[in-house]
Every structure is written in structure tokens, then in C-alpha cells.
Amino acid sequence: MLFFRLVNCYLGFMLMLISGYFVVSGYSFYFSSNVVFLEWEIFSLLGSNIIMTILLDWMSLTFMGFVLLISSMVLFYSGNYMEGDKFIYRFIMLVYLFVISMLLLIMSPNMISILLGWDGLGLVSYCLVIYYQNVKSANAGMLTILSNRVGDVAILLSISWMANYGTWNFYFLQLVYSDAELMFILCMVVIAAMTKSAQIPFSAWLPAAMAAPTPVSALVHSSTLVTAGVYLLIRFSELLSVSNFMFLVGVFTMFMSGLGANFETDLKKIIALSTLSQLGVMMMILSLGSSELAFFHLLSHALFKSLLFLCAGSFIHSMGDTQDIRNLGGLEVGLPISSFYFMGCSLSLCGFPFLSGFYSKDSILEFYFLNNMNFFMFLVIVLGTMFTVTYSVRLVYYLFFKNLGSKSFLHLGESIIMVVPMSVLFILAISAGSAMSWLYFPVNFVILPFFFKLLIITLVLMLMGVVYLFMKMNYLYGVVKVKALIHFLGSMWFMPMISTTFIMPVLKSGNTLLKYLDQGWMEYIFSQGKIAKTLDSGFLYSDKSFFFNLKMYLLFFFLIFFYFMIIYV
């Protein structure tokens, strides 16, 4: 185990160094406006060239740097969190395959190589979700892989359609003059992005994927799997332009997930639903044509969300593997460092001034408020943003301001191996937002009307009203109608039930086909019946006719030789 820890620390340190190099290179590429487009010819066969293309610009280099940095911290953290696990080597190799697939997706301008990274993410995520090998993990893994396969089919259809143009590089799509053909490719890419980023109606798999180990959740839900769809749409933003459909999808995903998180009791699922809410924010601003703001929020969200999961893993690991927030409380006494980091990241998630999430989230809301808007959509967005505060406050109350009770006897303490990577991420989660706003994204002077200046007070009053309403709902939980309403609001609008109800009959039909066809009439007629015996005897005679000894081989050779001599002479 000591050797494993040394190797794990060494590999994590190498990833951290490479991430620093990528971030510095992205910074220099941004100011010098450099773009590196590489074409690597792997091999050529009969005039067909197999070419691997790589695109390196400030966006891909910066994102790869952030992915490698978070991956290195997760690997350091896993050295202690997964200690004693029977399949620890399999876990580390799966994490590395996951990171490699994400890097391949990031630096690919070619739909074929994007498919390799895209499918790699889907397959490895399935292996990580079913890592603990129980019924819950198997069901969650099946829901995850089947939801992602819809996006894989959409990517394959876009690839097959792009073959008409002789190239799979999506940079050449702007030269296509047919709007109908572009619309088909763009629709396929949008469907793929919606499945990977768990937008409505494909949102059910993301909370279910919490069956994976907590370090994997920190990696998956911060900078890799769920952000792949957003990043793909950022690359296609020139074609997407302003999309009302994506705006509605992003806004209602943000509203639905934020509302559901206020009724959830599983610690990891609450953080997963907050991830889904922030993905809705990214989709919303991306649909308005501001891809750089979406990328800004993607980077800042990756830092504090990965730390939130690592803090949650520290709580779960120290409190006897308990994820129910009703059984947790008083954690600031036994886990002061993790509690402090969790509070800081929760404030950053809520958009507290001068923290990392404030710079990106505030810019997104101001950008939306400057546009012409519908009052209903404005109200939905304000409520969706406010739900971030309500579920964060609720979570902080359950974790820190409630008595712990008998769980205090299960306290295991904080390990320095887990605290060090969390400290690095906390420093970045606090300072990276302001640093990126100074370096990458220009400062905008926003002038808002008087109503929006009073928006903070309006939000606070609305927040008080909503919290009071939630309390009344809890008091009236015994009433049938209120109970049904709470069940509907807390179940992601029955989306998990819908996702499984339509899939399960198809899966069960496979058992019926196996019973009545493969193991029934087909087995009796073909495998063990007269047809099989007749075919076996016929193939036996044909095998004997092909059996030659050396004399017969030489005789046939001379006969063929004399035949050609007679014909040509």
C-alpha cells in the first residue's frame, strides 16, 4: 500500500505540473491570438488517409489545464479515501482513462476523434458508476449508459451526414450554404449535448450517477463528463447563435433541479442537483450567444463544485458512510477544516460578492437583464437563482447547526492527505474567478434600471416568503394534497420514473426473446433439430472433398499447369 501511495502521489504531481504548463500556455495563446492546428497522418491505405487532428487554442489549453489540475487533486485525495479498497488499482486506471477521454474530446476539432472521447467518457463513467457492484449501482449505471447512448447515436448521425462534405472537421461547416443540412447537423449536436449535460428530459441519470465513489463524483460533476455537452456547444456556438429552444431547456432545467434540491435528503444528490442547476445556467447564457461567459462559468464552477464533493466525501468518510443529511450535524466541531471549506464553496455557489462564482454568475445575470425579456421567464430565472440560496442554507443548517447525536461516536477525524488537495482547490475556488475576470474576460460597465438596483432586496423578500412556504409545507405534510405536491416537486417532476418506465419493458422483452426464441423453437429446430443434422452431414461431405494429400495436390497442380499451357500455346 505504501508503494501504491508513492506511485499515486507521483502521477498526481506530474498531472499538476502538466496542468500548470497548459494554463500558462493558454494565457500566452490568448494574448498573442495563437491557434495551433495539427494534422497527424496515422497511416494511408489504398489512397485513404487516416488523419488525427488536434486543435490547441487558449480555450482548449485552459480547459485541459483545469481538468488535469482537478484530476491531480482527486488522485491525491483518493489515496486516503479509497485506502483498503479491494480494487483500488482498477479504480485508479479507470480514473486515468476517464481523464484521457476528456482530453481527447477537448482538443479535437474532428467529429470522429470527438466520438472516441465521447464514447470513452460514456463507457468509463458506466464502469465507475457500477464500481461498488450492488443493485443500486447496477440500476444507476444502466440508466446512465442508456441515456448517454442517445447522444452517441446523435453524434454518429451527424458524422454520417458530414461525410457528404468530404470532411468531419466542424470548422468547415461555416462554408456549407444549405441551411437545412446545417440545421440537421446542429440538431444532432444539440441532442448529444443535452444527453451528456443532463438537460430536460434527460436529467434523471445525473443524480442516479451518485452511486459512484465520491472522488469520481468530484471529477465527473465538476470538469469532465457533464461539462462535455456544454463544451461541445461552445465549439458549435458560431452555428448555434441565439436559440430560443436551448434557452427554454436551460432555464427550466435550472428551475427544476434547484427546486428538487430543496426537498432532497441525500447529501451527494443535493450537490448533484446543484450541478444540474449550474449546467442549466450555462446552457441559458450559451443560448443567448455569449459562449465566453458560459466558458467562464464552466471554469469557475469546476473549481468550487469539485471541492464541494471532496468536502462531502470527507463528511461521509468520517461519519460512518452516512449520506442522509438528517443523520448528520455538528460537523464543524469534529471536521473544522472541511466545514470551513464547505461553507466557503457554498457561498461561492450562491454568488457571494468577490468569490469565484460571483464574477461569472453576476455577469451572466447582468447580461440577461440587459436584453429584452419576458416577465414570466424573468420570474423563473430569478426563482431558479434564488433556489441556489435556499438549498445551500438548508444544507448548511442540517450539517452544522443541528445536534449530531449518537453519530459523534463514529468520528474518524481529518487526514492530512485529504486536507492538502482540498486546500489547493479552496485557494483556487476563492481567487480564480477574479483572476480570470482580470486576465481573460474584459471588464464591462453595466448600467441597470432602478428596478434592478432594488433586485437584491426583492430577492431577499422573495427568499423569506419561499422559505416560509416550505416550512408551511413541512407542517402540512400529513395533508394528502400537500404531500403529493411535495412528492412531485422533490422527484424532479417524475423524470426518473419516466426514464425508467419507457426503458424497462424494452429490457424485459429481451428475456422473453431469449426464452421463446434462442432457448425455445430456434433451439429445437436449428441447433438440435433435423435442419442442424442435415447441415452437419452436408458440411462433412464438403470437408472430405477438400481433403487432399500430397499426391492429389501435385496431380491438380500439373493438370492446371497443362491446362494453361494448352490455352496460351
Query: Is residue 425 within 8 Å of residue 306, measured between CB atoms?
Result: yes
Nearest to 208 by CA among 303, 135, 117, 285: 135
Mean pLDDT confidence for 46-54: 73
Residue of higher predicted confidence among 473 and 95: 95
The C-alpha angle with vertex 514 and arms to 509 and 516, in degrees rounded to 5, equals: 95
Mean pLDDT confidence for 137-156: 86
Q: Model confidence over 108-119: pLDDT tens digits?
A: 888 888 888 888
Q: What percent of the chain has pLDDT over 70?
A: 79
How does DSSP classify residue 325? G
Q: How far apart are CA 273 and CA 206, in angstroms?
A: 8
Say what the pLDDT of residue 468 is: 59
Say what the pLDDT of residue 292 is: 86
Say what the pLDDT of residue 556 is: 72
Nearest to 255 by CA among 381, 351, 360: 381
Q: How far apart are CA 238 and CA 155, in angstroms?
A: 18
CA–CA distances in Å: residue 322 to residues 278, 326, 385, 407 = 26, 10, 29, 9
Q: Which stretch of 68-72, 246-250, 491-495 has the lowest confidence by average pLDDT?
A: 491-495
Say what the pLDDT of residue 430 is: 87
Q: 554-569 b/e with 16+ CB inside 10 Å = b?
A: eeeeeeeeeeeeeeee
Residue of higher predicted confidence among 369 and 277: 277
Is the pLDDT at 27 greater than 60, yes or no? yes
Mean pLDDT (the chain, rounded): 79
Q: Which stretch of 231-245, 324-338, 347-361, 409-423 has the lowest confidence by average pLDDT?
A: 409-423
Residue of higher predicted confidence among 435 and 409: 435
Domain borders along the chain are: 142-491, 504-568
Is the pLDDT at 481 greater than 60, yes or no? no
Q: Model confidence over 356-399: pLDDT tens digits?
A: 888 888 888 888 887 777 888 888 888 888 888 888 888 888 88
Is the pLDDT at 498 greater than 50, yes or no? yes
Is the pLDDT at 316 greater than 60, yes or no? yes
Residues paired with residue 498 on neighbouring β-strands, in sequence order: none
Is the pLDDT at 447 greater than 80, yes or no? no
Is the pLDDT at 441 greater than 80, yes or no? no
Q: Model confidence over 58-92: pLDDT tens digits?
A: 888 999 999 999 988 888 888 777 777 777 888 88
DSSP 1-33: -HHHHHHHHHHHHHHHHHHHHHHHHHHHHHHHT
pLDDT band, residue 564 (cuts 50/70/90): confident
pLDDT band, residue 474 (cuts 50/70/90): low
Query: Is residue 198 within 8 Å of residue 254, measured between CB atoms?
Result: no
Q: Model confidence over 209-220: pLDDT tens digits?
A: 888 888 888 888
Residues in the chain: 569
